[in-house]
Chains A and B, each alone.
Chain A
Amino acid sequence: MAGRARFVALGVALASLAGIVYGRNRRRRGHVDLYFEDGSMISLAGDSPEARLLFPHAADALRAVR
């Protein structure tokens, strides 16, 4: 029983760590979330070819404000 609890605790710890790493990478790389008229949504990772197409325009918008 104690072995099983330890196994579950280890699983939760690993999942939390994976979540933290994923979140940190996502923040560092950036992302683009697109919401469509039909209610669907696409999230593009910052290093994807589609996001690389969109980021120059977003960077230009940020420059307009700074």
Chain B
Amino acid sequence: MATAEQALAELTELSTQVHAATIFDQDGKVAASTLVGGRGDWLAASAKALLDAAETVRGEGETAVVQLEAAMPEGSVFVVREGVRVVAAVTDREPTAGLVFYDLKRCLQSVSAEKPKRKRTAAKTGTSGRPR
């Protein structure tokens, strides 16, 4: 279990190819970023736009894009989605795509493993407060 910040810190420590990364939700709300100021929001917004545009390639009603690599001469952009969480990362040109995808998936999984806190409610019957 890790917070989004911890997951990103581990990602940048393990993967020397990743220059910057941002974790955000499906609405584009940033959970954590290695970038400071508004650059994390900027990366999240452009990665979300990239993912949304990628969804139109196959047409509506088809299966969703879960990961992508946009390789350009200046560098590569990776986006990986798992559930409601998305991680976007920027690397140098010609990265080892398989390794970057693996690291990004592990990063998201470590955040997803974080269980939401449940409220304690008293059981309607019984005196011990424990459900039977």
Contact = CB atoms under 8 A, between A and B. Distances in A.
Contacts of B42: 60, 63-64
A32 B71 contact: yes
A43 to B, nearest CB: 9
Interface of B: 19-20, 35, 39, 42-43, 46-47, 49-50, 53-54, 56-58, 62-75, 77, 88, 90, 93-94, 97
Nearest to A37: B63
B46 A57 contact: yes
Contact of A54 (B50, B66, B74): B50
Given A30-B71, A65-B35, A35 B94 contact: no
Contact of A40 (B63, B71, B88): B63
Contacts, number: 99
Interface of B is mostly: mixed
B57 A62 contact: no
Nearest to B81: A37
B97 to A, nearest CB: 7
Contacts of A64: 20, 35, 39, 42-43, 46, 90
Contacts of B39: 64-65
Nearest to A59: B72
